[in-house]
Copies of this chain bind each other. A is one copy, B any other.
């Protein structure tokens, strides 16, 4: 099994940096605070129109025309519309299955957020809050969402699998990333008690989720577990015969490597990819099919300055004012890191690029030079990303 896919990020789970206009007129930095700051009617109008425009039939066709075979769709815990003030989006996922099946794509449903927060980052839905794992009723709620997703789509031809929770932040990464400094919580009282998730909790949750999903999800569909940013701790996990088609998802970004000292040159990136991406994937592939569910071509070299792990103008970090490299030089750098990473994921079970599309404007707004590489559509148009049709 080898999957070649792309994430439909910022469609059903919002990230402000990918489309700032959604957050206009508010100080909200995440999806939790957006409906709490906007007039109800305005929130509804924005969110519904966004969902109807951002990803459509046209995009599924386009993705297929690039030779990819799957999409990973981040969905929020409120997808079924049972968590006020949020508005559900199950009809959008219904449509996505229709489009995927028409154009020969499969779908990995990725539960991207959890009530109370599973990682404290903006993309987890609430900045600086990570308390989901300590709230048994919310853990149960997440299990019920997974079960409902499996029941609704389990037997669909377009179903590739379900990822039980995206990027749960284990203690090690929670401390290393200094999450609450990077993503300050708005409500300190609400954030109180936030901490990294324990390995014990996560293992237990994955086992429970597997059983709940398998009630409705046929054995040939994948149950995907995220490595919690520690790829090598899962060797003794779910190796028993009763666990079938469990996929290990690891997310690898060059910007994270840069924080660990990866040299910001082509050679630096290539050796880092070999050592830190390819080798661990190859090793873990002995235990699980391993996918890289999020990665991209973004790097500080092309940005022209050290982004300190992908800090953007939205974090108050100024970007360069002019391109440092010519279009040809940029293409050379991006093609090199693309080829090396594709080779690494090929040692595993495949990949999903992050992301299909983002609306960062590198021309009319300052500080975004280099950020277009997060957008696979632009990578294809610029010929940065080698398509294998």
Using a CB–CB cutoff of 8 Å, the interface residues on chain A facing chain B are 19, 21-22, 24, 39, 41-42, 44-46, 48-50, 52-54, 56-58, 61-62, 64-65, 94-95, 98-99, 102, 357, 359-364, 372, 375, 377-378, 380-383
Contacts and interface: CB of A to CB of B under 8 A. Distances in A.
Contact of A41 (B39, B50, B95, B364): B39
A188 to B, nearest CB: 31
Please provide the 7 A-B residue pairs with the shortest distance between their CB atoms, ordered closest to farther.
Answer: A45-B45, A21-B52, A65-B381, A98-B363, A42-B45, A53-B53, A61-B381
Contact of A56 (B42, B45, B361): B361
Contact of A62 (B41, B363, B364, B381): B381
B102 A359 contact: no
Nearest to A59: B377
A317 to B, nearest CB: 21
Nearest to A359: B56
Contacts of A48: 21, 24
Contact of A95 (B44, B102, B363, B381): B363
7 contacts: A42-B44, A42-B45, A46-B46, A58-B372, A62-B381, A65-B383, A98-B364
Given A62-B381, A99-B363, A357-B58, A45 B49 contact: yes
Contacts of A49: 21-22, 45-46, 49-50, 53
Contacts of A57: 359-364, 372
B359 A52 contact: yes
Nearest to A51: B21
Contact of A21 (B19, B53, B98, B360): B53
Chain copies in the assembly?
Answer: 2
A287 to B, nearest CB: 38
A39 to B, nearest CB: 6
A41 B45 contact: yes
A341 B362 CA distance: 36
Please indicate which of the listed interface residues A45, A53, A56, A94 has the most CB atoms of chain B within 10 Å of its own CB. A45
Contact of A42 (B21, B41, B52, B65): B41
Contacts of A380: 65
A53 B44 CA distance: 16
A100 to B, nearest CB: 10
A131 to B, nearest CB: 32
Nearest to A21: B52
Contacts of A362: 57
A251 to B, nearest CB: 23
Please indicate which of the listed interface residues A22, A53, A378 has the most CB atoms of chain B within 10 Å of its own CB. A53
Contact of A58 (B21, B24, B94, B378): B378
Please indicate which of the listed interface residues A39, A94, A381 has the most CB atoms of chain B within 10 Å of its own CB. A381
Contacts of A58: 357, 359, 372, 375, 377-378, 381
A89 B113 CA distance: 35
A360 B21 CA distance: 24
Nearest to A96: B364
A359 B62 contact: no
Nearest to A42: B45
Contacts of A39: 41
Nearest to A61: B381
